[in-house]
Amino acid sequence: MKAISAPSLSVVLPVYNEEPNVPALAQRLDSALRSCGRTYEVILVDDGSSDATWPALLLAARTYPCFRLIRFRRNFGQTAAMAAGFDAACGDIVVTLDADLQNPPEEIPVLLAKMDEGYDVVSGWRKNRQDEASRTIISRQANRILRILTDITEDEVHDFGCSLKAYRADVIKQVHLYGEMHRFVPALCKRVGARIADVPVQHAARTAGKSKYRISTRTLHVFLDLFTLRCLLFHATSPIHFFGKFGIQLASIGFAMLAFVGLEWLVSLFPHCGAWFGATLLVKRSFWIITPFMLIGFALQFILLGLIAELQIRTYHETQRKPIYHVRETFDSPR
């Protein structure tokens, strides 16, 4: 695929079964990007569409020379489509948005203006979201949970689900996407030290095509991905701290129960103290003997699991030479 020489701006759009939207999308994208006063490219990634999206994209690429197309062999998902677009992007700034025109392309200059203030990531905030009430309510609650689990403040990101975002290329190309992590890209960028902000953007109701999201399925996937994200953000380089913490807590409870049972047994040896404990001592009750040893066994399993994960993480970083730090810039004083 022939790349445009050194554009300053790359726009990445995952596209899946959006045939009715492609003509208007292409025209509005081209018009909005021309007004930015920057050299640009548009990378449209067809994520295995089953309708006539690809012919529509080909027609758009012939009409607008700055459009570049990538076509998947099958549907790999939005995360894979975004990753392919990031890998192909040549611009210093990479902007993402959906192809359904709910995020107007005309809002791209708003994000770029915010980036000029020195930010590495600027996220769109659908302040007046034009979706059904149920989806809006669930989205707001999910955003609150995400901010808690990722340590991102409300000043940085209000709306994780908005696809309209801008990234500096040197930041986004250090982030490796897989699974369904496209929802959490700002959090992954913050992990490498990115400065993040958001800005209110317009949001429109869908006028053509069908939504690809089901609330029930998406909510379940987000919930499961949150656990993975939390581990990646805070325990990827020291899993023993994560698993060992649970192990120590379980072992502490187990040893405390054994100590209490043992203390009761010792005190009961004195005749004048035996009446304190009733007819049956705890040491004679199976629950108070089996449970502490089970907890101690679970604790050992957690600690051993942490050690195994620690070895795997070290092997992962050493064999693939993954960095454990990310440099923003360097300076050498003149000699």
Instruction: Please report which confidence band the pLDDT of residue 23 belongs to, taking 50, 70 and 90 as the band edges.
Output: very high
310 or 273, higher pLDDT? 310
For residue 327, being part of any structural domain is answered with: no
Query: For residue 102, what pLDDT is reported?
Result: 86
The pLDDT, as a whole number, for residue 169 is 93
Where is pLDDT greater, at 131 or 46? 46
Q: Is the pLDDT of residue 329 over 80?
A: no
Is the per-residue pLDDT at 327 higher than 70? Answer: no
* Residue ending a domain, choose from 234, 261, 291: 234
CA 85, 90, 96 angle in degrees (round to 5)? Answer: 40
Tally the domains of the chain.
Answer: 2
At residue 240, does pLDDT exceed 80? no
> Would you say 25 and 103 are in contact if contact means Cβ atoms under 8 Å apart?
no
Same domain, 160 and 105: yes
Q: Answer yes or no: is 282 within a domain.
A: yes
> In this structure, what CATH number is given to the domain that contains residue 53?
3.90.550.10
Of 26, 160, 34, 14, whose CA–CA distance to 81 is shortest?
14
pLDDT digit string (tens) for 110-165?
Answer: 999 999 999 999 998 888 776 666 667 777 777 787 787 777 887 788 888 888 99
- Pick the last residue of a domain from 198, 218, 234: 234
Report the SS3 class of residue 169: helix
State which of 234, 256, 291 marks the end of a domain.
Answer: 234
Distance CA 196, CA 121 (A): 5
Phi-psi label, residue 278: left if phi above 0, alpha if psi -120 to 50, beta otherwise: left
Calpha distance 325→335 (Å, rounded): 28
The helix (H) or strand (E) run that includes residue 241 is helix 239-268
Q: How confident is the model over 14-30, as a mean pLDDT?
A: 92
Predicted TM-score of the model (pTM): 0.71
- Inform me whether the pLDDT recorded for 22 exceeds 70: yes
pLDDT interval class at 332 (50, 70, 90): very low
Instruction: List the domain range (segments joined by +) for residue 68.
Output: 9-234
